[in-house]
Amino acid sequence: MKYRLKTELMRSVVTLSLVLVATLVPCILHAQSAEQLVTEAVAARRRSDDVAALALLRRAVALERNGRTVGQLALVEGALGMWLEADRDLTESRALGGAWVEQSAGLNVLAERIRENVGRLMVLCETPGAVLSVNGEDHNLPLQRPLRLRTGRVEIEVQAPGFRASTRTLEIAPLPEGASVGAVETFVLVRAPVVAPVVAPVVAPVVPPVAAAEPRVRTRTPRVAPAESPRAPLPRVDPSSNADSLFAIGGVGLGLGIAGLVLGGVGHGLYEDRVGAFTTAVLSANCPPLMDDGTLPAGAMSRCTEVRAEWILFDAMRTAGYVTGGILSLTGIVFLIAGATSGPSTPAHARRDDDEVSPAQTQLRVACGPFADLGVACEGSF
């Protein structure tokens, strides 16, 4: 009766926990909007944390690909010296267009710096199946468009099946203003000589003479069964004590997990309140609008920085609460289920240690169960 009551209580607690977790999961997995991510990236750039801004803007571009998100990503890539990526994203941002792209002076400065650090190379080769290798990357020839390469010295190689490979070392110069094609290289591959295969002479195998077989005498050694050593009796384990321990651990873990989830919910509410406060401050002119390069004017960042610090604190609070609460809740549920499944199957007084085993009961009988400290012990008769 006691075991049945524990099982029913465990089922009720598990059901309540699953409902609570299912209710809070959408809050945990809530995705920020692209506009919020761009705002956070701009704040990170003000702190000279371009690496964090790069990660935020990549998430923003994945959510919404427009001229502003891609252009902001190109600005960060240029600040980190990723000139090829910045050139690609700047071209895409101008193709997508938008009011921000047309009014941004930072994009024009970025385009000038890209022109100083990125060149163009066009490779021509009429050999069928030719492949161009540049910096470890292979490109099938003919090329559809010129390659974008960092300025400086580069080694290229063109190879094709049945032809000798050709290697050259080039100096990639900045692309002249207004030009779309930089250096042009033409390759004419020479066919490799055909080498006749070397045929090894065929040598007949030497067969050794067969000697007369000698008669084999088989002897058998009688097998002696090893003597069985006496087995020490194994300690008897009471499964009910282990089940009580698992129930206690599971209850404590589940309680702490629910407290953590509640703490995460409180942090989430405060986080949303700070985000709203930051937006209200911007709309009410407490925080002046951003400049073209994504920064605030000098002397106008005190209140905005304070709200932003609270924003980051409550974001960390909600994340820690949700993650810790979810882990502890799931751990508690696992221990409760383990306690239910390890209940007593045979009464402890059903068999005494001094019971004798009749000859008809010589078959192997083994029973195993966990200790209270999560060990394992087995007992039985042989």
- My answer on whether 262 and 166 are in the same domain is no
- 198, part of any domain: no
How far apart are alpha carbons 69 and 4 in whole angstroms? 60
- The CATH code of the domain that includes 177 is 2.60.40.1120
CA 132 to chain centre: 33
| Cβ neighbours for 212, distance < 8 A, ≥ 6 positions apart | none
Residue that finishes a domain, picked among 153, 187, 221? 187
Same domain membership, residue 67 and residue 147 = no
Residue 44, in any domain of the structure:
yes
Three-state SS at 104: coil
For residue 13, tell me if it sits in a domain: yes
68 and 41 together in one domain: yes
For 273-338, list the strands marked E by DSSP.
none
* Residue 295 shares a structural domain with residue 346: yes
* Domain assignment of residue 87, yes or no: yes
Range of the domain at 295: 2-29+235-350
Q: Is residue 58 part of a domain?
A: yes
pLDDT of residue 243: 75
Task: Please indicate, yes or no, whether residues 318 and 256 belong to a single structural domain of this protein.
Answer: yes
Residue 53 shares a structural domain with residue 66: yes
* Dihedral (CA of 87, 91, 93, 94) sign: positive
One pLDDT digit (tens) per residue for the chain, 382 residues: 555 656 676 677 667 766 665 555 444 444 468 889 998 888 988 888 889 989 988 999 899 889 888 888 988 888 888 888 888 898 888 888 888 888 888 888 888 888 888 888 888 888 888 999 988 888 888 888 888 888 888 888 998 998 999 898 888 888 777 676 778 889 888 888 877 677 777 776 766 666 555 656 566 666 766 666 656 555 555 556 677 787 788 888 888 989 888 888 888 888 888 777 766 665 555 565 555 555 555 555 566 667 777 768 888 888 998 899 889 888 889 888 887 776 554 444 444 444 444 444 444 444 444 544 444 444 554 4
Q: How many domains is the chain built from?
A: 3
The CATH number assigned to the domain holding 76 equals 1.25.40
User: Is residue 110, in this structure, part of any structural domain at all?
Assistant: no
**pLDDT reported for residue 359:** 44
Same domain, yes or no: 15 and 57: no
**Which residues lie across from 170 on neighbouring strands?**
154
Q: What is the C-alpha to C-alpha distance for residues 308 and 277, in angstroms, rounded to an integer?
A: 9
* Same domain, yes or no: 291 and 336: yes
Q: What is the pLDDT of residue 158?
A: 92
Closest CA to 149 of 176, 107, 119, 173: 119
Specify whether 25 is located in the same domain as 45. Answer: no
Query: Residue 55: which residues within 8 A CB-CB, separation 6 or more?
Result: none
Sheet order of strands, 131-134 included: 137-140, 131-134, 152-159, 166-172
Tell whether 369 is covered by a domain: no
Q: Of 187, 219, 243, which one is at a domain's C-terminal end?
A: 187
pLDDT at 30: 41
Q: Looking at the domain assignment, is residue 296 inside a domain?
A: yes
Distance CA 377, CA 235 (A): 7
Q: Are residues 182 and 123 in the same domain?
A: yes
341 and 247, same domain (yes or no): yes
Residue 219: its pLDDT value, please?
Answer: 63
- pLDDT of 13: 67
